[in-house]
Chains A and B, each alone.
Chain A
Amino acid sequence: MSTTTKLDLASPAPAKATPAKPRRGLRGSPTFNFWLFTGPFLIGLAIFVYVPILWSIWLSFFEARFTVTPEKFIGFDNYVYMLTNDDFVGSLGTFTVFAAFIVPTTWAMSLGLALAVNRLRFMRAFFRSVFFLPTACSYVAAALIWKMSIFSGVRFGLMNTVLGWFGVENIAWLADPNPPWYWLVIVSARLWLQSGFYMILFLAALQNIPGELYEAAALDGAKPGWQTFRYITLPQLRATSTAVVLLLLIAAYQAFDEFFNLLQKTTWGRPPLVELYYKALGENQDYGAGSAGAVILTVLICLVTLFQGKLMGFGRGDESK
């Protein structure tokens, strides 16, 4: 909260600066110009972000099926319904499992790739490109390749072909939740898609670590490799790491595309957004319950973000620039 006080202290500054500036009536007035610049954005933000949020909260207290102008106020019934609804609660569980898998694996993989690429002497740009390239793919395209070529549950799928060389029977990757092989499909697709992006962030951070630190560490007798990594590299990457974890969590919360396309109408492995999509826009068009679910989800995301921010000190010293 130190930021607030600092900003408050800063507010008299413009008053001091104004007399120096040429004033040309309304056109030169900072207030007018401020609204001229930010107005279009703020109006759009109000209409397309704030209104939906408020509308959502309002709808969540009504029985609203097939209608967005409901009449029957039902208090917290939608919330009770969603929180006792196995599908919705299950979707929160799905998300938790997914995040528990994908956040650490992507973190480790993108950091590993960045360290490797950073140490290469030749062909560094080539390898960086290769790892970065999947970022160009959409989740839909990746889901298609994964589902129809790599992990198709039949004999001609790449994975089953390769496993077949070792005498492994065909595996129905997506058609059967027992054992839950579909996690492997989903996690591998997302790892492929997003690691390269986070690798770039780590690469940029690695290249900003001053070389003197390593020289000093070497003088102090730290062995290159694990020791320098543990005591120099990792602490220096702290800010980036925190941000990466936060971005990964937010991205995991929004998971929709690959689940929707890989699992289609299966009842298992539905993250919250897929569940809400079917609930609100499916056959029943239950906007009330769907809105209640969205509100619950938003509150959860805010709580996790705040908690994580506290835990890892995100934003500390960020405003000082």
Chain B
Amino acid sequence: MPDIHKTAQPSAKPRRTRRGGGVMGSTGLYIATGVAALLFLVPFYLLIRNALSTDPEITGENWKFFPTNLQWGNFTELFNDPTVPFGRSLWNSTVVATLHTVGVLFVCSLAGYGLARIPYKHANKVFYAVLGTLMVPTAVTFVPSFVLVSSLGWVDTYRGLIVPALFSGFTCFLFRQYFLGFPKELEEAARVDGLGYWGAYWRVVVPNSLNFFAAIATITFINGWNSFLWPLVIGQSPDAWTVQVALSNYMTNQTVVFHTIFMATAISILPLLLVFLFLQRWLVQGIAQTGIKG
């Protein structure tokens, strides 16, 4: 068993020792990469710096690289400010992104498995019907989708935010591709032991695919947390705002002050940064493995 678990995970690094000298020496390479890295980090630095500054320090004439003393009180100020429904939007995002992830994993993995593994004579036609939706970007259908969802009375509800986004043709496609490569012998053994498709799926296929599920879960969660257009369309009252919609509103709202906005932005990024820092190696592997084949 553990062997197959391993082979399902292609080794990400057949590292070659060859690394020619090239035009640029090693030092030059490090300097160039280092400068690029600094540029990539500047926005993060600005975010944290501004989140922990006072407003005069952010907007002051003389640019200060370091704030004179860090305003940790900005944090409590943000959550205690009754004019800014930030806690509520944070909660909405958490609920929406979590249920979105669970739902996508459940619905799309089942469909991907069915398309990949269950012999049915029209399976290919069904597969093409799914593939066809990839040609129509979901963002383009937001107008009619909004019409549909509002006629269902789902505006400003979790249902409206979550359900329409569950049926991702792309995720279904990724699962299908993955299951096509899943070792068939395992399932056959399960079938011989008397399990039906359903039993073999839940008791053999899923437990042996946890890495892949986890990778897709992470990517789906990130997308769910960061999505903006759909929540903007559906979440019309402040009670239904997700974090992204709330941030967007603060940008135009005159009453909210700089350090509050930056603190809110920093907090909105924090969960994903933690995911990235702790699960990185595995997330990178997942993307490399699921994104596309080289």
- Chain A 26-37 against B: per-residue CB contact (8 Å), 1 yes, 0 no? 011011011111
Q: A215-B18, A257-B228 are known contacts. Are A133 and B276 too (CB-CB below 8 A)?
A: yes
A245 to B42 CA separation, bound complex (whole angstroms):
27
Q: A294 — which chain B residues lie within 8 A by C-beta? A: 140-141, 143-144
Tell me if B158 counts as interface (CB < 8 A to partner A).
no
Q: B46 — which chain A residues lie within 8 A by C-beta? A: 145, 149-150, 158
Tell me if B238 counts as interface (CB < 8 A to partner A).
no
Question: How many A residues, CB 8 Å from partner?
Answer: 119
Q: A44-B107, A56-B144, A144-B247 are known contacts. Are A116 and B294 too (CB-CB below 8 A)?
A: no
Residue in A closest to B245 when the chains form the complex, CB atoms = A140
Are A55 and B33 in contact, CB atoms less than 8 angstroms apart?
A: no
A213 to B228 CA separation, bound complex (whole angstroms):
45
Question: How many B residues, CB 8 Å from partner?
Answer: 113
A-B contacts counted at CB < 8 A amount to 322
Q: A130 — which chain B residues lie within 8 A by C-beta? A: 37, 40-41
A7 to B123 CA separation, bound complex (whole angstroms):
10
Are A48 and B163 in contact, CB atoms less than 8 angstroms apart?
A: yes
Q: B82 — which chain A residues lie within 8 A by C-beta? A: none
Chief secondary structure at chain A's binding surface: helix
Are B118 and A129 in contact, CB atoms less than 8 angstroms apart?
A: no
Q: B258 — which chain A residues lie within 8 A by C-beta? A: 148
Tell me if A92 counts as interface (CB < 8 A to partner B).
no
Tell me if A219 counts as interface (CB < 8 A to partner B).
no
Binds A, one of B1-9, B71-79, B207-215, B284-292: B284-292
- The distance from the CB of B167 to the nearest CB of chain A, in whole angstroms, is 4
Q: Which residue in B29, B118, B288 is a CB contact (below 8 Å) of A201?
A: B288
Q: Which residue in A138, A155, A226, A228 is a CB contact (below 8 Å) of B226?
A: A138
Per CB-CB distance, the 10 closest pairs between chain A and chain B, nearest first, are A224-B20, A37-B114, A14-B119, A204-B288, A41-B111, A205-B294, A52-B144, A138-B226, A56-B144, A34-B120
- Chain A 294-318 against B: per-residue CB contact (8 Å), 1 yes, 0 no? 1001100110010000000000001
Are B268 and A256 in contact, CB atoms less than 8 angstroms apart?
A: no
Residue in A closest to B41 when the chains form the complex, CB atoms = A130
Q: B19 — which chain A residues lie within 8 A by C-beta? A: 119, 121
Are B137 and A250 in contact, CB atoms less than 8 angstroms apart?
A: yes
Are A158 and B63 in contact, CB atoms less than 8 angstroms apart?
A: yes
Q: Which residue in A11, A22, A129, A208 is a CB contact (below 8 Å) of B121?
A: A11
Residue in B closest to A292 when the chains form the complex, CB atoms = B143
Residue in A closest to B117 when the chains form the complex, CB atoms = A37
Are A49 and B136 in contact, CB atoms less than 8 angstroms apart?
A: yes
Are B110 and A144 in contact, CB atoms less than 8 angstroms apart?
A: no
Q: A38-B114, A224-B20, A257-B228 are known contacts. Are A128 and B284 too (CB-CB below 8 A)?
A: yes
Q: A298 — which chain B residues lie within 8 A by C-beta? A: 136-137, 140-141
Chain A stretch 185-235: residues in CB contact (< 8 A) with chain B: 192, 196-197, 200-201, 203-205, 207-208, 211, 214-215, 218, 224-226, 228
5 extra interchain contacts, Cβ-Cβ under 8 A, other than A131-B37, A197-B287, A287-B143?
Answer: A36-B198, A52-B144, A129-B277, A149-B43, A256-B228
Binds B, one of A81-89, A176-184, A273-281: A273-281
Q: B147 — which chain A residues lie within 8 A by C-beta? A: 52, 55, 59, 68, 287
- Chain B 272-285 against A: per-residue CB contact (8 Å), 1 yes, 0 no? 11011100110010
A138 to B264 CA separation, bound complex (whole angstroms):
13
Are A136 and B275 in contact, CB atoms less than 8 angstroms apart?
A: yes
Residue in A closest to B126 when the chains form the complex, CB atoms = A38
- The distance from the CB of B90 to the nearest CB of chain A, in whole angstroms, is 13
Are B146 and A281 in contact, CB atoms less than 8 angstroms apart?
A: yes
Are B141 and A225 in contact, CB atoms less than 8 angstroms apart?
A: no
Q: B123 — which chain A residues lie within 8 A by C-beta? A: 34
Are A30 and B120 in contact, CB atoms less than 8 angstroms apart?
A: yes
Tell me if A127 counts as interface (CB < 8 A to partner B).
yes
A273 to B232 CA separation, bound complex (whole angstroms):
13
Q: A145-B43, A226-B23, A305-B135 are known contacts. Are A7 and B124 too (CB-CB below 8 A)?
A: yes
- The distance from the CB of B284 to the nearest CB of chain A, in whole angstroms, is 6
Tell me if A80 counts as interface (CB < 8 A to partner B).
no
Are B119 and A55 in contact, CB atoms less than 8 angstroms apart?
A: no
A33 to B133 CA separation, bound complex (whole angstroms):
23
Tell me if A132 counts as interface (CB < 8 A to partner B).
yes
- The distance from the CB of A240 to the nearest CB of chain B, in whole angstroms, is 5
Are A55 and B144 in contact, CB atoms less than 8 angstroms apart?
A: yes
A226 to B110 CA separation, bound complex (whole angstroms):
47
Tell me if A62 counts as interface (CB < 8 A to partner B).
no
Are B226 and A41 in contact, CB atoms less than 8 angstroms apart?
A: no
- The distance from the CB of B117 to the nearest CB of chain A, in whole angstroms, is 9
